[in-house]
Structure 1
């Protein structure tokens, strides 16, 4: 399936009807976490795995149970609890859940990447990559958002606030050479506080600030153009006093194109240690995973927020982006 495939949600059962492997998703306070699972609930998946991050949102287990109850195959559906504050524990339970899928002889996986945290999605992709020789197909699905920070003007939109900690993502430690300067690559989205905190904490010798390409072809939704421009400019203003800052553009919708963009940036700066902070769409986070797995010298970091916009994070759209992960594609 091509990345630019964007059918409406109601078309998913017809599109996916000939595949019945494993379905993986992540329960969330966002309504979007129930969109794709609700659309495909009657398909005969051999196994359904619903991740739920236990220490972010108090009602998350109830949300996960709602998703599980919708599927026709409840016997082979499981809820897997993870913990943001314990990434090693999370990586372990993710690995175990995937091993159960492999032990069932399933070689076809769908992932609804929409409401994973950036960190959990990266951990999942790294673990799936370890089983790539046993998988025939891995397909990612992403529900678009009609709007973010519902009802707020562009200059007051927020998805998260504060930043508890900045850490490397399990499975993406990179290979940082002592004595080398640091090049920090930030894919900026709406979450400017996390972006600026990451920049201040890392204090890199070279900062590359990425902006999602503002065009119909590349934005996940045209309505996001103005707020994305606003927050990108805000971050750029905040770091304007720094000596070495270079802008670049990337696609929010095309993971392989964005992965190539990242690898080209890294190649042009061979004398630096490279660290990436993905803070844009989950599709671009997939791109970061692809780039960091292709060049394992790259470290990926995660800025854990203090809180999320639980009540107005997003309004679901009716379109779905669908793309396959081709681990052997040359980047």
Structure 2
């Protein structure tokens, strides 16, 4: 939903700011019973049949969705950005890849709460050379600002496709409260 809204705001050239407040606490799980991953309408990138697939993931706490991506798209390369810091038991809960990492799984630290142009540029430098040899898909499995980061990246590199993975069961008690001291504010366009 965020990506659709951002797409239409971008097309209409409407000046937009993004504001995000972290929750005070997280519950035991976000979702279960992940559905099949889908490309996002108007943000599906460009795929060439003779190129292998690379998936860029800004990960979070949902291991099942990460496994679904790997099963669906069978990437030759998977770049997994881990949320840095120790907020909200992050180091314990962060998904560190897939059940059985392979040589094709490359991990890097990334601040998924920082949708600044600097964060987008860091990803751009990492992924742009890969777009010449791979079809690139990107998925945000972390906090909501990471979805904004990937959207901004597709504005710069439209060959990248965005992938969303819905679930049949969302935990209504996944997060609670609003941490008013931890606000993320970013100009989108």
Whether these two folds match at TM > 0.5 is: yes
Which of the two has higher C-alpha Rg?
1
| CA gap 1:231/1:323 in 2 versus in 1, 3 angstroms | closer
Q: Could you say what secondary structure the match of 2:165 adopts?
A: strand
**Matched residue, 2:8:** 127
Q: Alignment partner for residue 42 of structure 2, among 152, 155, 171?
A: 171
Q: Which runs of 4+ in 1 moved over 4 A?
A: none
Root mean square deviation of aligned Cα? 1.6
Question: How much has 1:141 moved relative to structure 2?
Answer: 1.3
Pairs within 5 Å for 1:126-275: 126-132=7-13, 135=14, 137-149=15-27, 157-214=28-85, 222-227=87-92, 230-233=93-96, 235-236=97-98, 238-240=99-101, 242-255=102-115, 256-269=117-130, 270-275=132-137
CA deviations over 1:59-96 (Å, ceiling 9, x no partner)? xxxxxxxxxxxxxxxxxxxxxxxxxxxxxxxxxxxxxx
Where 1:252 maps in the other structure, the secondary structure is coil
Matched, 1:323 2:186: yes
Q: Which residue of 2 aligns with 1:285?
A: 147
| Cα distance in 1 for residues equivalent to 2:18 and 2:155 | 17
RCO comparison, higher one (Cα < 8 Å, 6+) = 2
CA contact (8 A) 1:144 1:318 kept: yes
Query: Separation in 2 of the partners of 1:187 and 1:162?
Result: 20
For structure 2, the residue ranges without an aligned partner over 5 or more in a row are none
Residue of structure 2 equivalent to 1:25:
none
Q: Do the aligned partners of 1:258 and 1:284 also contact (CA within 8 Å) in 2?
A: no
Q: Is the 8 A contact 2:36 2:72 kept in 1?
A: no
Q: What SS is found at the alignment partner of 1:232?
A: coil
| Greater fraction helix | 1
Preserved CA contact (<8 Å) 2:31 2:170: yes
Q: Distance in 2 between matches of 1:257 and 1:147?
A: 28
Whether contact under 8 Å (1:259, 1:288) holds in the other structure is: yes
State the TM-score, normalizing by the size of structure 1: 0.53
Matched position secondary structure for 1:162: strand
Q: TM-score, normalised by structure 2?
A: 0.90
Give, in whole Å, the separation in 2 of the partners of 1:121 and 1:213: 23
Structure 1 gap ranges (5+):
1-119, 150-156, 216-221
